[in-house]
Amino acid sequence: MTQLLWRASIVVLVVVASAWESSAMAASGASSLSGTGQPAFPTDPGAGLGNWNAIYAQGFSLGTNDSGFGAAGVTPGSAASLTQFQFFRSGRTSVNDDGTGGTLPTPTNVQLAIVNNFFLDLSTFTTSSPELVALSSNTIATIPVSNLSSGEPLTFTFDNVPLTYGPSSALNNAYDYAAIFVNNNGGTLTPVRVPAIIVNYVENPPGSGTYVPLHDYGNPTVDYRNAVSNYINGSYLATFNGYYADADFIANFSFTPLKGDFDGNGVVDVSDVQAMMNALSNLSGFQSANSLTADDLKALGDFDDDKMVTNADLQGLIVSIANAGGSSSLAAVPEPMSMALLAIGGSMVLWLRKK
């Protein structure tokens, strides 16, 4: 499981033990504020305060701000499966940033729509729209509008929705998506403004009257497709003028390992033969160290389709590499039967469940 995690405070990218997993981890920026009509741009980063706002949507890309995936061999075009998306409720209660406009309407019956075009025509947005990738499998009945507390997660679940990994670009939206809060009224999808925490802004330089994001998911001057939207212009979502702001959010998704890529470098070649031999000497340890599920392990190394990963599959890997044109590099590879010398008890075999 992989987390694309953006929180408004200090962000640190972490590559975890698995060759197929990475996380963008961060300290929480969600703290309770009191009072109504919070300023649009809180300027006290030392307090760790997130900006209380109310938003419609957040753009995202699975490759934005994350060097770990590439290092683990995940390349643009790789398939991913979305399982969960979280935002964090803010204490915003007013319609406008300055506290005017009355009380923000309480959002009810809210789902999260994943779309492949942030700037789709909302006047024709339905469950049949080609831009719609998926709707969350759950609906949040009521999202409180209250300044008494904030920070609780707004969690939306998805049934392994297929997405494509790739970097964000303002000039190429092939890998860009957006998450939009919506009401589903008989198939008509209407955006809903939800109180949610976004990144802090700071005045830079001090006294200039220019406010910029304290931290940013992506590039604050370029990635307008990877930004938050808190208003609608006609029939289209609109993002902040650059510098582009972002919401606090966590997106959970997973990648399927490349078959035979036991060293996790994104390429299946002769080096994976030795890596597979090492794995087979302690298969349960390899699975645990790399946080692989039984299905992950099967996808990685079950070449003979017997629902097990054994030294018999090593021959399948060798054949696969040879058929791919790498046979000349296989001359020094030991015979599969030499794997018997590495076996310890029953560690060479891991029985896998059928899905």
- The token pair at 37 is 């009509």
Q: Which residue has the tokens 């000039």?
A: 171
What DSSP element (H or E) covers 281? Answer: helix 271-281
Tokens of 320: 């696969």
Q: Are 250 and 239 in contact (CB under 8 A)?
A: no
pLDDT in tens, 12-37: 222 222 223 222 222 222 211 112 22
How close are the terminal C-alpha atoms of the chain, in Å?
17
Those residues with Cβ within 8 angstroms of residue 277's Cβ, 6 or more apart along the chain or in another chain: 314, 334, 339, 342
CA angle 246, 247, 249 (to 5 degrees): 125
- The pLDDT assigned to 175 comes to 85
pTM of the model as a whole: 0.68
Q: How confident is the model at residue 304 (pLDDT cuts 50, 70, 90)?
A: very high
Q: Give the pLDDT of residue 81.
A: 85
Side chain identity, residue 57: A
Closest to 22 (Cα-Cα) out of 61, 78, 77, 74: 74
CA–CA dist 146, 172 (Å, integer): 39
Q: Which amino acid, one-letter code, is at 308? A: M
Where does the pLDDT of residue 169 fall: very low under 50, low under 70, confident under 90, or very high at 90 and above? low
C-alpha span between 83 and 86 (Å, rounded): 10
Return the structure tokens found at 149.
Answer: 């507390």
Residues 228 and 52: beta-carbon distance below 8 Å: no
pLDDT digits (tens, 9 = 90+) for 218-274: 777 777 888 899 999 999 999 877 788 888 888 887 777 778 988 877 678 899 999
Q: Rounded distance, CA 1 to CA 22, Å?
A: 9
Q: How far is the C-alpha of 333 from the C-alpha of 76, rounded, in Å? A: 31
Structure tokens at 248: 């606090």
**Cα–Cα nearest to 175, from 247, 72, 74:** 74
Question: What is the model's pLDDT at position 221?
Answer: 79
DSSP 90-148: ----BSSTTS-SSBPPPPEEEEEEEES-TT--GGG-BTT-TTEEEE-S--EEE----SS
- Using pLDDT thresholds of 50, 70 and 90, give the confidence band for residue 10: very low
